Amino acid sequence: VGARNDRVQGRSGRWVGHREPRNHLLEVLTPVEWASVEPLLDRVDLTAFQTVELPGEVSPWLHFPESAIISVVNIMARGREVEVGTVGNEGMSGLTAWHEAEADDNHSVCSAAGSTLRARASDIIAVASQHPAIRRLLGRYSGAYLTLVAQGAACNRIHGLEQRCARLLLMMHDRLTGSHVLLTRGSLSVMLGVPTSGATLAIRALRGHGVIRASRERVDIVDRDGLERLACECYLVVRDRFATLT
Ligand SMILES: [Zn+2]
């Protein structure tokens, strides 16, 4: 109970000036844990389409996004791409480095520009060896991320394009501060794993339901409840899983 109280107090203003992290994993650290982690972090801005991790390489950096969103994209031999994972302010990118695993062929790329807190994976691993609660937190995050990937695999196979597009917009909306999402049809087509024409159809269908307004590079959510009703169940499964971490 004591530790829990520390965490709650931590949210109510112990941060100093601009160093307050806007990342849910960092927000739940106790003051002692935060004091160990804070000096390791640099706040950097990611631009849209900036590479975070190349296929076949393990980035030495972990990112704890604040307003940025990072997409993990699988590229098939013939060049078709589909998003298989995503990391926003609920999480951390760089699980391969964190687990000290071998490189895979996925490409991590910034899909929504914004700020992130970056640290060397080796530094966070060293700190976590001294603070078992940090190791457990990031272990539990890894488990939740596996749920996201597994649910995404099932969703891509079973649920319809319109439902999946609604889910994706809700997930992005949860991680941003405004009511709009900056998103090109090209990015959306990669996220959904369909040609650009398919992404356009999905947006048009949602617009027809009156839940969004959309231009070429921007989607405004005008009826959040309506959008939730149109999304598949996968949205709540994944959201609730991440909610257990904080
Ligand atoms: Zn689904």
Question: How many angstroms does the Cα of residue 56 sit away from the middle of ligand 1?
Answer: 29
pLDDT at position 3 is 43
Both tokens of 220, joined, read 């405004």
Ligand 1 centre to CA of 116 (Å) is: 28
> Roughly how many angstroms between the first and final C-alpha of the chain, as a whole number?
14
Contact at 8 Å (CB) between 60 and 117? no
- Average pLDDT for 12-23: 62
Residue 11 pLDDT greater than 50, yes or no: no
SS3 195: coil
Ligand 1 center–CA 233 separation, angstroms = 6
Ligand 1: centre distance to CA 41 (Å) = 35
Q: In the prediction, which pLDDT does 184 show?
A: 86
Q: In 3-state terms, the chain is what percent helix, strand and coil (to 5)?
A: 50, 20, 30
- The confidence score (pLDDT) of residue 8 equals 38
Q: Each residue of 25-40: b (16+ CB within 10 Å) or e?
A: bbbbbbeebbebbbeb
Residue 230: how many CB atoms within 10 A of its CB? Answer: 22
Distance 104 CA to ligand 1 centre (A): 25
**How far is residue 186 CA from its own chain's centroid?**
19
Q: What percent of the chain has pLDDT over 90?
A: 80
The pLDDT, as a whole number, for residue 6 is 44
pLDDT digits (tens, 9 = 90+) for 191-227: 999 999 999 999 999 999 999 999 988 999 999 999 9
Find the mean pLDDT for residues 143-148: 97
Distance 133 CA to ligand 1 centre (A): 32
Interval between CA 168 and ligand 1 midpoint (Å): 10
Interval between CA 228 and ligand 1 midpoint (Å): 12
State in Å: Cα 241 to ligand 1 middle: 15
Residue 221, burial from CB neighbour count under 10 angstroms (0-12, 13-18, 19+) = buried
Residue type, 191: M
- Between the CA of 132 and the centroid of ligand 1 the distance, in Å, is 35
The CA 151 to ligand 1 mean position distance, Å, reads: 7
Does 163 have pLDDT greater than 80?
yes
State the Cα–Cα distance between residues 144 and 24, nearest whole angstrom.
13
